[in-house]
């Protein structure tokens, strides 16, 4: 076993043994099978991703030090835990997730054998896990869980929606998260109204030529 993997596994188990208040621990864990998945999982590439949803829309912060949380009340963390190359790290992450204070995990993987979301959900059960197929060819693998082994999943590449779904889970216990979700949805609603009015009032040719 490589030293880096061993160190991470030890770190996770050490954090799980700490008795830290929930407001100081990450609320959401984001794991991916490879750093090549990072653009889709976090910033979305051509579409916005989980990082954009959490930070720009919902006011979360990324927590990079378990013992030193950021000032923001709600936080998320990120790891690479390959199901095929580091199954021991994936297992340690899933096994310790709840004890480390996580309330929900977002797991993304690509390729035809996108097993990370499924395996993470099985090991972390009953902690809710939201699967993100990084590519279209990953969809069947991510959603193909048997009866009795639940995994919520979004469409390929839509980690932004996965973040919103994670926030919805948190919102059942945290009123402030619910308020942030409602405000975000209201902004979307107003945006549609503004566009609709502009299209109608200016007409199609002028609307299409606007800056």
Residue ranges of the chain with pLDDT lower than 70? Answer: 1-2, 44-45
CATH of the domain at 59: 3.40.50.1970
134 alpha-carbon distance from chain centroid: 12
Question: Do 34 and 112 belong together in one domain?
Answer: yes
pLDDT tens digits along 171-196: 999 999 999 999 999 999 999 999 99
Mapping DSSP to helix (H, G, I), strand (E, B) and coil, where does residue 64 land?
A: coil
Question: Is 102 in the same domain as 142?
Answer: yes
Is residue 74 domain-shared with residue 129, that is, in the same domain? Answer: yes
* CA–CA distances in Å: residue 141 to residues 62, 128, 135, 173, 203: 28, 18, 11, 31, 46
Asked whether residue 193 falls in the same domain as residue 150, the answer is: no
The number of beta carbons lying within 10 Å of the beta carbon of residue 115 is 20
Q: Do 92 and 156 have their domain in common?
A: yes
pLDDT tens, 154-166?
999 999 999 999 9
Give the span between the Cα atoms of 92 and 41, in whole angstroms: 21
| Total tally of structural domains belonging to the chain | 2
């Amino acid at each position: 076993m490589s030293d880096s993997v061993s160190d991470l596994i030890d770190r996770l188990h050490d954090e799980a043994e700490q008795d830290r208040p929930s407001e100081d621990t990450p609320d959401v864990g984001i794991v991916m099978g490879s750093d090549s998945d990072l653009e889709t999982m976090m910033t979305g590439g051509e579409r916005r991703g989980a990082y954009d949803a959490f930070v720009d829309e919902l006011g979360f912060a990324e927590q990079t030090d378990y013992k030193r949380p950021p000032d923001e009340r709600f936080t998320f963390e990120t790891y690479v835990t390959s199901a095929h190359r580091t199954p021991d790290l994936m297992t340690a992450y899933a096994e310790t997730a709840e004890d480390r204070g996580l309330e929900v995990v977002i797991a993304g993987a690509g390729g035809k054998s996108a097993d990370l979301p499924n395996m993470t959900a099985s090991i972390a059960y009953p902690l809710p896990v939201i699967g993100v197929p990084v590519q279209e060819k990953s969809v069947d693998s991510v959603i193909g869980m048997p009866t009795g082994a639940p995994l919520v999943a979004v469409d390929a590449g839509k980690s932004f929606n996965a973040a919103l779904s994670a926030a919805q889970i948190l919102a059942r216990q945290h009123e402030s998260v619910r308020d942030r979700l409602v405000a975000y949805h209201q902004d979307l609603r107003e945006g549609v109204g503004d566009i609709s009015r502009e299209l109608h009032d200016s007409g199609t040719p002028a609307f299409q030529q606007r800056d």
